[in-house]
Amino acid sequence: MDSQVQSVIINDASQDSAPILQVKHLKKSFGDLHVLKDISFDLNAGEVLSIIGPSGSGKSTLLRCLTQLETFEAGEVRVDGKDMVVPGSCIGGKIKYAPAKTLRDIRLSTGLVFQNFNLFPHLTVLQNLTLAPIRVLHDSREDARALARFLLKQMGLEGKEKSYPCELSGGQQQRVSIARALALKPRILFFDEPTSALDPELTGEVLKIIKKLAEDRMTMVIVTHEMAFARDVANKVMFMDQGVVVEQGTPDFVFNRSQNKRLSAFLERFSRT
Amino acid sequence: MSDLNSLLPILWGGFCTTLAIFALTLLFSIPLGLLVAVLKMSRYRIVRYPVSFYISVMRGTPLLLQIVAIYFGSYYLSEYTGVEFSFDRFPAVIVAFSINYAAYFAEIFRGGIQSIPKGQYEAAAMLGLTRGQTFYRIILPQVVKRVVPASANEVITLVKDTSLAQVIAVTELFALAKKQQAAYASIYPLFVAGVFYYIANLLLSVLFAYVERKLNYYK
């Protein structure tokens, strides 16, 4: 394998016993609406977690809290050994976030792939990929371009570097956005329903890329409605409903052996449609 | 025909003043408008409210009155305060036009900025871009494309609005044409002035169409 892919997927902590992502008693509400009631889970480096559950169960909000696009009111989040919240600060009711420098470090170690891609429409594919490495990581233009080209090749998007996002299909755009997130070499990559905005015939090409990343031991958290995919790609599956983790475990346990009524009702609904 | 030969140089002189008002107004009002737009979106009421008041006064009263107010107002102000300060005619016109057009541009720019989807900010944040980088590299370039058509309207209106400068006896195109109307005892000079305005705006329309086409490289 090319030397660059090893630099994109960093897994030096895989022998380390501490999980790369730790969430403890996370709570989040919008006004009176408690969206996340008490979420706790761990994820080890190189593992893939699928989060499933009905709409409005808080899956996306959880992802947005972990990627700092939303704030939360209580709980602890530790990413790659760094605390997002000052430990023990949530005793007095409100939590205190870590200093800006720490939050920035955490942010740069997390990548997010959006449902609607959110590519920058005025920039070419290559510019979308090189902007942050050049401006944020201060990589040289040449290095940033070389990495971008390498990633585009991995995504099966050779020859598209001069295209604008509007010239690409939805599946291609989503693959560009995965490459854009990877260009910052994140430790954890989050996916917020990465195929929900795609035409059915285009979901396959995106899921294939994510599966390949899983094989390369990229640590990922994936919110998805693709049940077969959630089961196949993940080491761990978490079922959420109404702001709580109802069930979590291995794919085999969650999909085949769990006796939980809400989970089986949810899976039943899905297999019927 | 001999009429036209003597008329054209005179009107051309006025047209140059018109162009000067036009160009200087754009030069000052566009950056000022961008600043006002950003201030109006401030999260602090103490910033937002005065800016809203400024915009509402600029848009709610005649530009003609604003020109008079700036010119004579500065004169009266220096009388009262004893501070030696007043605008000459031409600078007064530039100030009045600039702050008036800035208010209109500000609303166009604000609309443009607010029309950029939230996802663009979120994607930029996830990539670690600072607020400044996000604004200048992600938001502003997209805003430019969105505000060109509405701004073209304002720019074309500005060409014609320059004729209001005559209210404080700045000898721009229309003022001179009116003087010639009296001299010739004919409305003919006014029509010629009209042709000047029309040609100027025709060129601007072509220019804006070109800019819009240039910016069409993405959707």
Read off the pLDDT of residues B59-85 as tens digits, 9 standing for 90 and up. Answer: 999 999 999 999 998 888 887 877 777
What pLDDT was estimated at residue A91?
62
- What b-and-e string marks burial along A238-250, b requiring 16 or more CB atoms within 10 Å of the CB? bbbbebbbbbbee
Task: For residue A193, count other CB atoms closer than 10 A to its CB.
Answer: 20
| Domains in chain A: ranges and CATH | 3-272 (3.40.50.300)
Residues in a beta bridge with A239:
A52, A247
Query: Average of pLDDT values for B164-193?
Result: 92
Contact A86, A96 (CB under 8 A): yes
Token digits for B42?
């401030």
Pairing of strands A236-241, A48-52: parallel
Question: Residue A97 — φ and ψ, nearest 5°?
Answer: -75, 155
- List chain A residues with CB under 8 Å of B142: 121-122
Among B123, B137, B141, whose Cβ lies nearest the Cβ of A118? B123
Q: Could you identify the residue written with the tokens 């800019």?
A: B211
CA distance B113 to B35: 12
The nearest alpha carbon in chain A to B119 belongs to A118
Contact A67 B127 (CB under 8 A): no
pLDDT at B8 over 60: yes
pLDDT at A217 over 90: yes
CA distances from A101 to A68, A78, A80, B75, B189 (A): 13, 15, 15, 54, 69
Among B120, B141, B218, whose Cβ lies nearest the Cβ of A164? B218
Q: What angle in degrees, to the nearest 10, is found between the helix axes of B140-161 and B188-214? A: 170
Among A120, A135, A137, whose Cβ lies nearest the Cβ of B120? A120
pLDDT at B1 over 80: no
Task: Identify the residue among A120, A168, A187 best suited for mutation to test binding to B, counting B beta carbons within 10 A and taking the highest.
Answer: A120
- List chain A residues with CB under 8 Å of B141: 122
Token digits for A61?
């909000």
Distance in Å, alpha carbon of B216 to nearest chain A alpha carbon: 10
The nearest alpha carbon in chain A to B129 belongs to A136
Q: What pTM was computed for the model?
A: 0.89
Closest CA to B121 of B131, B109, B106, B107: B131
Contact B125 A107 (CB under 8 A): yes
Contact A184 B125 (CB under 8 A): no
Contact A131 B119 (CB under 8 A): no
The nearest alpha carbon in chain A to B218 belongs to A122
pLDDT grade, residue A5 (50/70/90)?
very low
> Is A129 in the B-facing interface, judged by CB distances under 8 Å?
no
- List chain B residues with CB under 8 Å of A116: 119
CA distance A65 to A39: 11
CA distance A233 to A252: 12
Contact A122 B129 (CB under 8 A): no
pLDDT grade, residue A18 (50/70/90)?
confident
B20-33 pLDDT, tens digit each: 999 999 999 999 99
Among A69, A164, A166, whose Cβ lies nearest the Cβ of B122? A69
CA distance A176 to A195: 13
- List chain B residues with CB under 8 Å of A166: 218-219
Q: Is pLDDT larger for residue B4 or for residue B30?
A: B30
Poorest-pLDDT segment among A61-75, B78-92, B100-114: B78-92
pLDDT grade, residue A187 (50/70/90)?
very high
The rounded Cα B67 to chain-centroid distance in angstroms is 13
Token digits for B39?
């201030």
Mean pLDDT score across all residues of chain B? 94
Contact A112 B119 (CB under 8 A): no
> Is A166 in the B-facing interface, judged by CB distances under 8 Å?
yes
- List chain B residues with CB under 8 Å of A110: 126
- List chain B residues with CB under 8 Å of A181: 126
Contact A137, A188 (CB under 8 A): no
Q: What angle in degrees, to the nearest 10, is found between the helix axes of B2-40 and B188-214? A: 40
Superfamily of domain B2-217: MetI-like (1.10.3720.10)
CA distance B131 to A102: 17
If residue A161 lies in a helix (H) or strand (E), which one and from where to where?
none
What pLDDT was estimated at residue A12?
53
A63-116 pLDDT, tens digit each: 999 999 999 999 999 999 999 998 777 666 678 899 999 999 999 999 999 999
Size of interface A-B (CB pairs under 8 A): 58
Contact A135 B129 (CB under 8 A): yes
CA distance B46 to B63: 26
The nearest alpha carbon in chain B to A164 belongs to B218
- DSSP string for A94-156: S--BPPHHHHHHHHHTEEEE-TT----TTS-HHHHHHHHHHHTS---HHHHHHHHHHHHHHTT
CA distance B138 to B214: 18
* HSE toward the beta carbon, residue B55, CA cutoff 13 A: 25
Contact B122 A118 (CB under 8 A): yes
If residue A115 lies in a helix (H) or strand (E), which one and from where to where?
none
If residue B70 lies in a helix (H) or strand (E), which one and from where to where?
helix B63-81
